[in-house]
Amino acid sequence: MGPYVPQGGAGAVTVVGLQECHWPAVREIYAAGIATGQATFEARPPGWEAFAAGKPAHLRQVAVDDHGAVLGWVAASPVSARPVYAGVVEESVYVHPDAAGPGVGRLLLQALIASAEAAGVWTIEAKIFPENTASLSLHQTLGFEPVGVRRRLGRMSHGPHAGQWRDVILLERRSATIGT
């Protein structure tokens, strides 16, 4: 992965819909998160078709700087095809390692919350490794509450935790306006 180099300073950050043209940068950011061993059980990013098929266009965004460089992404997918769960999604948020810290993740999650509520989503779920304290803090700041720990949910196949069984904290954010 090439380093993120802001051109002419950090500039403005804008959140826009994640389209196929963003995929090369999104894939690199996803791969960087995977490499940490703290982001997902996935061993590699999927291809664009698989990624887009599981995440509706209105529930995926990217943060870009004023030169169009992708700083991070957020996307959500339905937790079930059953109609009773139509308003429940699971989200993922990733920020380029060199863009972490200045609030990109917060902007992305806020944008997802707004678009999810506009689409009638009443619950957004997140599954986060307990060691990923930055992500846990960010989510809790935006109203996500821990609802349980899924012990030894999966065994890592790659990275610094290869072979280890990992716990995952399940958080959820219930809408104050949808599904009340």
180 residues of the chain, pLDDT tens digit each: 333 334 444 568 999 999 999 999 999 999 999 999 999 999 999 999 999 999 999 999 999 999 999 999 999 999 999 999 999 999 999 999 989 877 999 999 999 999 999 999 999 999 999 999 999 999 999 999 999 999 999 999 998 999 999 999 999 999 999 987
- Model pTM score: 0.91
CB count within 10 Å of CB 56 equals 15
Instruction: Look at residue 159 and tell me if it is in a domain.
Output: yes
Instruction: Look at residue 7 and tell me if it is in a domain.
Output: no
Instruction: Look at residue 5 and tell me if it is in a domain.
Output: no
Instruction: Look at residue 92 and tell me if it is in a domain.
Output: yes
The pLDDT assigned to 180 comes to 79
Range of the domain at 76: 13-174
Instruction: Look at residue 34 and tell me if it is in a domain.
Output: yes
Instruction: Look at residue 1 and tell me if it is in a domain.
Output: no
Give the C-alpha distances (Å, rounded to integers) separating 151 from 113, 138, 148, 161, 173.
27, 22, 9, 15, 21
Instruction: Look at residue 117 and tell me if it is in a domain.
Output: yes
Centroid of chain to Cα 61: 10
Instruction: Look at residue 99 and tell me if it is in a domain.
Output: yes
Closest CA to 48 of 20, 8, 76: 20
- What 3-state DSSP class applies to 19? coil
Give the C-alpha distances (Å, rounded to integers) separating 34 from 25, 157, 159.
14, 11, 8
Q: Count up the domains in the chain and report the number.
A: 1
- Could you tell me the CATH number of the domain that includes residue 163? 3.40.630.30
